Amino acid sequence: MRTSIFIDFDWLAARLPSKGRVLDVGCGVGSLDYEIARSNQRLSVLGIDLSSQSIDAARRYNSLPNIEYECKSLDSVEGEFDCIIFVDVFHHIPPAEHPGLLAKSARLLAAGGYLLIKDIERKKGHLGLWLDRYVSGCEEVYLYNCEELVATVSKHMRVRKSEVRFRFPFPHYYIEAVNPSREEASSGAMKGEAATNRRR
């Protein structure tokens, strides 16, 4: 897969499920979704964004049979997903909106599903801040450090992995979290399946 100064596609792809449904929140023009869907046709990707122009561009330039793009908010999404990703999105979201987004994400996760957040680390991330403003044209940018967002996510989900990785020219953080109740449901289903197999 391709890489860029913002996203290490290979690193992210290695952490996606091998099959199932992926929801990309704030998909933009769909470049990441195209790479995900192209590299693994067993994944079905839904990309959502509030910008109708971005969604139109995604449908025109980054379309594949296993991708759908919709101009809508996370609140409007229904169904269950095996993985929900926020890639370079949280720094555009005011802190007051985090609880609602995380609670909704937790409800949308299927049993065994998980949330992936990747964003620019605030420590030494000022160049990333400038670049993002230049590329997106958005002046309202909120940078967080990994520990801050882990604390926020932990109020709604169980964080099972977090790390900060330096990718020239600035560092990024990665957070992986699960809905504990859905995690327990998945574990119970697996135990039941194992017991059934033993009886056969």
Domains in the chain with CATH codes:
9-199 (3.40.50.150)
- Residue 188: pLDDT band with limits 50, 70, 90: low
Report whether pLDDT(195) > 60: no
Lowest mean pLDDT among 34-43, 82-91, 122-131, 154-163: 122-131
CB atoms within 10 A of CB 114: 25
Identify residue 113 by its one-letter amino acid code.
Answer: G
23-81, pLDDT tens digit by residue?
999 999 999 999 999 999 999 999 999 999 999 999 999 999 999 999 999 999 999 99
pLDDT given for residue 190 in this prediction: 45
What is the signed CA dihedral for 26, 16, 98, 166, rounded to 10 degrees?
-90
Q: What is the model's pLDDT at position 124?
A: 56
Q: Is there a contact between 176 and 162 (Cβ–Cβ < 8 Å)?
A: yes
pLDDT digits (tens, 9 = 90+) for 101-121: 999 999 999 999 999 999 888
For 195, the enclosing helix (H) or strand (E) is: helix 180-199
**199 pLDDT higher than 60:** no
Quick one: pLDDT at residue 129? Answer: 55
Check whether 2 has a pLDDT greater than 60.
no
**Cα distance between residue 91 and residue 69, in whole Å:** 22
Tell me the C-alpha distance between 198 and 151, whole Å: 41
| 152 membership: H or E segment, kind and range | helix 146-154
Cβ distance 23 to 106 under 8 Å?
A: no
- Rounded CA-CA distance 90/159 in Å is 16
The length of the chain, given as a count of residues: 200
Provide, rounded to the nearest whole percent, the portion of the chain with pLDDT above 90.
60
